[in-house]
Amino acid sequence: MDVLDHLIGEHRKAEQLVARLETTKTRAERQPVVAELGHALATHMEVEERRVYPMIEEHLGEDKATGAEAEHDKARDGLAKLTEVIDQPAFGAALGEFKGDLAHHVIEEETNLFPALRTRASSEIAALGDAEEVEEEVQEEVDEAE
């Protein structure tokens, strides 16, 4: 499986976790799901930012890469907000905003960025290799930087 297909699968996982959060009512129910979502998205975003977005910048333009990174910043802020209000009535509103931002990001990547990247950089995508190996490499880079 190539990196883009793997990232699309990760989008489905994030959507499923958000759907699970929509059914929760207490901190005890929400906390493990928010933690899982945060971990999954952290790895996902690092792979995109370190491997995919440089290709987007090169082949599709700096504005496309900058926009995608801004959406990641928004997702990080949204996750922080979910954690902050995890046991408050504002959780539902924060989750709704996060869900909307996630949907926008997923649609942009899956309908515009990734297809265009496949057209213009297919050999570079293939050269990245197996998606799980890419994740491991990126995680090692993150660990070394910390």
pLDDT digit string (tens) for 44-103? 999 999 999 999 999 999 999 999 999 999 999 999 999 999 999 999 999 999 999 999
| pLDDT at 146 > cutoff 80 | no
Max CA-CA distance within the chain? 49
| pLDDT at 114 > cutoff 80 | yes
- pTM of the entire structure? 0.92
Burial per residue of 9-23, b for 16 or more beta-carbon CB atoms within 10 angstroms, e otherwise: ebbeebeebbeebee
pLDDT value, residue 25: 95
Q: Both tokens of residue 64?
A: 């496309």
Please return the burial class of 65, using the count of CB atoms within 10 Å of its CB with bins 0-12, 13-18 and 19+: buried
Dist CA 146 CA 130 (whole Å): 25
Residue keyed to tokens 């090169």 = 58
Of the two residues 134 and 32, the one the predictor is more confident about is: 32
